[in-house]
């Protein structure tokens, strides 16, 4: 509420817009988060964390091409953020997203693809990607095991 008031009183405070975006994400209000992060990014184009927040908000809304555009505006040709790899996997190709990725990054990416499939009611595809995540990194990727277990228990 205070951040809403701050952005209304002084609309050029990028920190307030970024904070408002974080609150909107916490409240599962992706479209409002995109608006807030977009405004913060307009006001402070040099802050990579704001750009990453905006891209992740787009990814949460399955707007992968928009997320890629944000990463490109900050000069991210080679993915340095997991969000960038996720956007590439959905918008371009899984192979490209996996380039130069270590086991932990690959496991995270497979789990993220599985979570997206599950969100879109594609249970078999989700289970397949959770299994890939576990195979790549059983030590690192307990979340994929929990996701797969939830699918198997809900049959």
Note the pTM of the prediction, 2 decimals.
Answer: 0.78
Cα(155)–Cα(87) distance, rounded to whole angstroms? 30
Q: What share of the chain is helix, strand, coil (3-state, %, to 5)?
A: 75, 0, 25
Q: What is the pLDDT along the chain (155 residues), one digit of tens a residue?
A: 555 665 666 678 888 899 999 999 999 999 999 999 999 999 998 888 999 999 999 999 999 999 999 988 877 666 677 888 889 998 899 899 988 888 888 998 999 999 988 888 889 999 999 999 999 987 767 888 888 888 888 86
Q: Which two three-digit tokens encode residue 88?
A: 């590439």
| Contact assessment for residue 67 and residue 85, using Cβ atoms and an 8 Å cutoff | no
Q: Shortest CA distance to 56 belongs to which of 83, 29, 87?
A: 83
pLDDT of residue 138: 75
């Amino acid at each position: 509420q205070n951040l809403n008031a701050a952005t209304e009183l002084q609309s050029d405070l990028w920190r307030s817009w970024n904070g408002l975006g974080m609150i909107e994400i916490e409240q599962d209000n992706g479209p409002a988060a995109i608006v807030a992060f977009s405004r913060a990014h307009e006001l402070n184009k040099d802050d990579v964390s704001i750009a990453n927040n905006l891209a992740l908000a787009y990814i949460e809304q399955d707007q992968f091409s928009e997320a890629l555009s944000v990463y490109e505006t900050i000069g991210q040709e080679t993915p340095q953020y997991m969000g960038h790899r996720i956007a590439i996997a959905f918008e371009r190709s899984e192979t490209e997203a996996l380039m130069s990725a270590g086991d932990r990054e690959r496991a995270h990416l497979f789990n993220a693809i599985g979570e997206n499939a599950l969100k879109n009611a594609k249970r078999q595809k989700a289970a397949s990607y959770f299994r890939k995540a576990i195979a790549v990194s059983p030590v690192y990727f307990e979340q994929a095991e929990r996701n797969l277990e939830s699918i198997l228990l809900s049959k």
